[in-house]
């Protein structure tokens, strides 16, 4: 499908993506750039990596596809940096968890930059290339957020690529994407983090008593703090709206408990169960 692609920032997502392509024979040559010398050294030893570069622009020369897999704050600066080195028809995408800011800024960057945002809804709290898995994306959703200037051909090409590694692809505006993920990803994450941060204030021995419920509920809170700080801040408006909505819901449960209003407590729990059973 591709002769040559470039991965900028081969962490868990970037490395898993390259591995998934190679395992399926979808790509001949994978070029890699990482800011960190240690990651570059690691990449040189990886089966899915063919060439490693010290400059992001150099890594993009000759590639049909460039996938930016770095933290959300660094995506646009990197696009700016690689723009002069890109092939004329190169397709550029990312795997960032926010889209409005990135897509808006990418549009203003350089004429002829064929950027279409991607957000594969896959990942793990275990970061880094060492945890890469060729099946990481299988069965998960991938949201594409093309801007008005994207051609149908480019959108189809990118869409087919994510589908080829097992994802079901949905196309949304960057704004709609950010509204949705604020609710189904960023809110769950910050609740898990807040819960853990709150429990960190309690007696340390309580931890020993925790069951699998607490472990599952808070798993995502083990994710990289800096990455998530950037994500929450880039999606600030929508995240704040989601927090407000959740606070109202939690307050309703609290009021029902205070009022010894069993039917309302039960109703809220049953509504939650019904939703969860459909997930």
Give the shortest CB-245-to-its own copies separation in angstroms.
Answer: 6
Q: Residue 201: CB partners within 8 Å, gap ≥ 6?
A: none
Closest Cα to residue 120, out of 89, 90, 158?
158
Does position 147 interact with its own copies (CB under 8 A)? The reply is no
Please report whether residue 165 would count as binding its own copies according to CB under 8 A.
no
The conformation of residue 224, written as its DSSP 8-state character, comes to: -
Where does residue 139 fall: left (phi above 0), alpha (psi -120 to 50 degrees), or beta otherwise? left
253 binds its own copies (CB under 8 A): yes
Q: Can residue 191 be called a binding residue for its own copies (CB under 8 A)?
A: yes
Give whole-number Cα distances, 9 to 53, 88, 112, 213, in Å: 11, 22, 23, 34
246 is a contact residue toward its own copies (CB under 8 A): yes
Of the pair 61, 265, the CB lying nearest its own copies is at: 265
Provide, rounded to whole angstroms, the least separation between the CB of residue 11 and its own copies: 16
Among 92, 121, 145, 152, binds its own copies (CB under 8 A): 121
Rule CB under 8 A: is residue 216 a binding residue for its own copies?
yes
From candidates 6, 42, 100, 185, binder to its own copies by CB under 8 A: 185
Q: Which stretch binds its own copies (CB under 8 A): 4-12, 51-59, 146-154, 190-198?
A: 190-198
CB nearer to its own copies: give 130 or 266: 266
Count CB-CB contacts under 10 A for residue 138: 12
Is 190 a binding residue for its own copies by CB under 8 A? The answer is yes
Binding test (CB under 8 A) with its own copies, winner from 122, 129, 144, 158: 122
Instruction: Indicate whether 127 belongs to the interface with its own copies (CB under 8 A).
Output: no
Whole-angstrom Cα distance, residue 112 to residue 105?
Answer: 14
The distance of closest approach from Cβ of residue 141 to its own copies in the complex, given in angstroms and rounded to an integer, is 5
> Which helix (H) or strand (E) element contains residue 5?
strand 2-8
Contact with its own copies (CB under 8 A) among 51, 133, 157, 183 = 183
Which H or E run contains 156? helix 152-164
Q: Is 223 a residue that touches its own copies (CB under 8 A)?
A: yes
Number of residues in contact with its own copies under rule CB under 8 A = 86
Q: Are 75 and 102 in contact (CB under 8 A)?
A: yes
Shortest approach of its own copies to residue 171 CB, angstroms?
12
Kindly state whether residue 226 participates in binding its own copies, applying the rule CB under 8 A: yes
Question: Which position has the token pair 């480019």?
Answer: 154
* Residue 25 contacts its own copies per CB under 8 A: no
Q: Which residue has the tokens 């079901």?
A: 168
β-sheet with 117-120: strand ranges across: 117-120, 141-145, 168-171
Q: CA dihedral in degrees (25, 28, 33, 34; nearest 10)?
A: 30
Question: Is residue 130 involved in binding its own copies (CB under 8 A)?
Answer: no
One of 37, 45, 152, 200 touching its own copies (CB under 8 A): 200
Q: Is 126 in the site for its own copies (CB under 8 A)?
A: no
Angle formed at CA 191 by CA 186 and CA 196, multiple of 5 degrees: 130
Q: Is 53 in the site for its own copies (CB under 8 A)?
A: no
């Amino acid at each position: 499908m591709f002769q040559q692609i470039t991965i900028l920032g081969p962490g868990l997502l970037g490395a898993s993506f390259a591995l998934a392509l190679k395992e399926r024979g979808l790509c001949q040559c994978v070029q890699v750039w990482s800011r960190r010398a240690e990651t570059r050294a690691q990449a040189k030893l990886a089966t899915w990596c063919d060439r490693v570069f010290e400059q992001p622009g150099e890594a993009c020369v000759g590639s049909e596809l460039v996938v930016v897999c770095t933290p959300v704050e660094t995506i646009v600066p990197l696009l700016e940096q690689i723009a002069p080195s890109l092939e004329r028809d190169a397709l550029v995408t990312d795997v960032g968890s926010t889209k409005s800011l990135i897509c808006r800024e990418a549009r203003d960057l350089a004429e002829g930059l064929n950027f279409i945002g991607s957000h594969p809804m896959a990942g793990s709290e275990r970061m880094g290339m060492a945890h890469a898995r060729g099946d990481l994306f299988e069965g998960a959703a991938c949201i594409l957020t093309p801007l008005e200037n994207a051609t149908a051909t480019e959108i189809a090409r990118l869409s087919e690529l994510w589908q080829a590694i097992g994802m079901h692809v949905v196309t949304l505006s960057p704004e709609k994407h950010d509204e949705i993920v604020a609710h189904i990803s960023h809110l769950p994450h910050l609740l898990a983090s807040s819960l853990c941060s709150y429990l960190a204030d309690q007696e340390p021995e309580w931890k020993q008593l925790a069951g699998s419920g607490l472990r599952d509920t808070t798993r995502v809170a083990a994710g990289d703090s800096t990455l998530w700080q950037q994500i929450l801040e880039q999606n600030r408006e929508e995240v704040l709206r989601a927090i407000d909505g959740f606070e109202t819901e939690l307050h309703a449960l609290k009021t029902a408990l205070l009022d010894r209003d069993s039917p309302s407590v039960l109703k809220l729990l049953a509504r939650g169960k019904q939703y969860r059973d459909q997930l």
